[in-house]
Amino acid sequence: MATLTFRFNNIVDLINKLKPVNILVYIDMKLNNVVIHYSPKDEQNKEFLNSVKEYMPTLIQPNIVKHHHPRCDETEISHTQILKRSQIKRKILNGEVIFNELIRMCSVGFWAKNNKNENLNYIVTAGHCCVDRSQYFHHLPWNYRRIYGSTRVGEMIESSNNVKYDFCLVNVTEDVNLPTVIRNTDSEYYDELFIEGGKNITSYGSHLCKSGQITHVTCGYVKGLNAFSLLPAGQMITDLIVASKEFFETVCQGDSGGPAFSYLQDLSTVSLNAMTIRVWNDLSIFLPLHVILSKGEVELVRSR
């Protein structure tokens, strides 16, 4: 492990020097090597890819997803009039739809409270849903494709965390029932999953599930910890979790912001571990819960 960590750290130094884009890097214990996912279309990465060979990483081009998730082809929400205020007090579940006035659609992550003021309540979602401008957010249950029945929940908090760590806090200002459970209504017996608390993922191969408004609840296994991703614009996000169900598509665009969790002894209770922020072919990328709680200065609200 010491050798892999040495190579990993040297690759990080090389990345800081050569500034490649659109890559994903982590230590894969199954392959016993540092893995770099990249796209051959990114011409500006040539120098980096040539230089990094010194550290003998496993270079992987985009995988072919053999088992495409059918819900990934669903159409966007229809552009119909948004209700200005909630007409009924709606129950919000983690994993359901949250979208802004630009119809940028993500998933509800979880309910958190401000560390210093318990009267400030937030819905946590992905930061890239909050980067355009200060704006109001609205909620829809699963399978609603028209925004006419949406409920306003509040306004995003402008913060450097939105870009730096890719998470966003939506300040809840409307009269709604906030989420302490994860939606799982595809299940006959466990349609609501109760969050008993949160914990860090520390083991490779751990079973990890997520709920999102497109693919609903899907599961895979942890392939990488402390991973980092460089986005097409060059932004680097660190300390990530990489999970996968080999060649199966488990996350689609629109699932970003949804909660990632592990089941406890009772299949109706879970521990919150992270939040979905990105998909890379058959890989799912998650931001750990402890990063959100620490950098956002918030605490998780539990079901029990």
d(CA 56, CA 11): 10
Which of 12-26, 65-79, 130-144 has the least mean pLDDT? 65-79
- 44 and 88 together in one domain: no
- Specify if 186 maps to a domain: no
Ramachandran quadrant class, 288 (left: phi over 0; alpha: psi -120 to 50; beta: rest): beta
C-alpha closest to that of 110 among 268, 284, 282, 260: 260
Bigger pLDDT: 233 vs 56: 56
The 10s digit of each residue's pLDDT in 161-192 is: 998 999 999 999 888 888 789 999 888 899 99
Pair (50, 19) in one structural domain? yes
pLDDT value at 155 more than 50:
yes
Model confidence pLDDT, tens digit, residues 1-55: 788 999 999 999 999 999 999 999 999 999 999 999 998 888 889 999 999 999 9
- Residue 67: its pLDDT value, please? 58
Shared domain for 58 and 97, answered yes or no, is no
118-122, 150-154, 196-200: which range is least confident on average?
Answer: 150-154
Note whether 43 and 87 are same-domain residues.
no
Which tokens belong to 256?
Answer: 């970003």
Final residue in a domain of this structure, among 31, 62, 93: 62
The pLDDT of residue 121: 96
User: Is 88 in the same domain as 157?
Assistant: yes
CATH of the domain at 30: 3.30.300
**pLDDT grade, residue 145 (50/70/90)?**
low
130 and 33, same structural domain? no
146 inside domain: yes
Q: Which of 32, 62, 92 is the last residue of a domain?
A: 62
Looking at residue 75, the DSSP 8-state letter turns out to be P
Look at 202 and 81; give whichever has higher pLDDT. 202
Q: What pLDDT score does 82 carry?
A: 44
228 falls within a domain: no
For the cut 60, the answer to whether the pLDDT of residue 75 exceeds it is no
At 85 the pLDDT is 46
Amino acid at 271: S
The better pLDDT of the pair 32, 105 is held by: 32
**135 in a domain, yes or no?**
yes
Question: Does residue 300 register a pLDDT over 90?
Answer: yes
Q: Where are the beta strands (DSSP E) in 105-215?
A: 105-107, 110-114, 121-126, 136-140, 151-156, 167-172, 181-183, 192-198, 207-212
Residue 49 sits in the same domain as residue 82: no
Kindly report the CATH number assigned to the domain that includes residue 123. Answer: 2.40.10
Low-confidence winner among 3-7, 90-94, 272-276 (lowest mean pLDDT) = 90-94
Task: Work out how many domains the chain is built from and give that number.
Answer: 2
Q: Please check the confidence at residue 277 and state whether its pLDDT lies above 50.
A: yes
Q: Which of 14, 41, 62 is the last residue of a domain?
A: 62
Distance of CA 6 to CAs 1, 182, 203, 204, 283, Å?
9, 39, 20, 19, 24
Inside any domain, residue 277:
no
CA distance linking residue 304 with residue 267, whole number of Å: 15
Q: Give every CB contact of residue 161 below 8 A, 6+ residues apart in sequence.
A: 127, 167, 168, 169, 295, 296
Per-residue model confidence as pLDDT tens digits over 196-247:
999 999 999 999 999 999 889 999 999 999 999 998 877 899 999 999 987 6
Q: Which pLDDT belongs to residue 69? A: 67
| Side chain identity at residue 246, one-letter code | E
Q: Are residues 45 and 92 in the same domain?
A: no
Question: Which residue range forms the structural domain that includes residue 149?
Answer: 74-179
Question: Quick one: 121 and 159 in the same domain?
Answer: yes
Model pLDDT, residue 81: 43
Q: Same domain for 82 and 168?
A: yes
Q: Which residue has the higher pLDDT, 66 or 115?
A: 115
